[in-house]
């Protein structure tokens, strides 16, 4: 939503960080529901400004950093239609460096885990009980493929 000449890392915008914190704080204050927020937040000060602030406000936050090697991350980006010139691919080294600075106890190395294993481990760490997947086994890859198609991006 910013003009092309002002684009960079949107997380550098204080308004973006406040826009992450405010709805999460409000939701967690007024609901007993679990909120899962998938995001890559790798600048320690920004992590503290959002996650640290939620914790300081008394909210229980289970942080799980999904980690993978550079080749794995690039392969996963390609599988979702992100080329080597995409914005996401250009952020890989910076993000891997930032993730290496986080609490190692929060890390989950996913290089050799299936999607189901990652989901189960995140749920275990968060103290959640998963419901059985009632999707027929043969339909699961088709469902994932359909989701991937809806999220394709152009370089």
102 DSSP 8-state letter: S
Span 62-68, average pLDDT: 94
**Is pLDDT of 23 > 80?**
yes
**What global pTM score does this model have?**
0.80
Please check the confidence at residue 115 and state whether its pLDDT lies above 80: yes
Instruction: Identify which has the larger pLDDT, 22 or 143.
Output: 22
| Higher per-residue pLDDT: 71 or 34 | 71
Taking a C-beta distance cutoff of 8 angstroms, is the pair 41, 50 a contact? Answer: yes
Q: Under 8 Å CB-to-CB from 13, ≥6 apart: which residues? A: none
Question: Nearest 10 degrees: CA dihedral of 18, 1, 70, 119?
Answer: 60
Rounded distance, CA 141 to CA 107, Å? 27
Q: What's the angle, vertex CA 17, arms to CA 12 and CA 22, rounded to 5?
A: 170
Question: Which band of pLDDT confidence, cut at 50, 70 and 90, is reported for residue 24?
Answer: very high
């Amino acid at each position: 939503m910013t003009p092309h000449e002002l684009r960079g890392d949107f997380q550098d915008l204080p308004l973006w960080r406040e826009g992450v914190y405010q709805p999460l704080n409000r939701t967690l204050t007024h609901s007993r529901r679990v909120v899962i927020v998938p995001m890559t937040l790798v600048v320690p000060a920004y992590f503290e400004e959002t996650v640290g602030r939620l914790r300081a406000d008394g909210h229980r936050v289970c942080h799980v950093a999904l980690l993978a090697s550079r080749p794995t991350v690039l392969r996963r980006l390609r599988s979702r239609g992100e080329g080597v010139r995409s914005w996401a691919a250009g952020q890989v080294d910076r993000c891997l460096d930032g993730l290496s600075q986080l609490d190692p106890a929060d890390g989950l190395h996913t290089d050799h885990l299936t999607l189901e294993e990652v989901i189960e481990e995140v749920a275990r760490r968060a103290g959640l009980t998963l419901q059985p997947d009632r999707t027929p086994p043969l339909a699961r890859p088709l469902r994932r493929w359909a989701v991937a198609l809806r999220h394709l991006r152009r370089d």
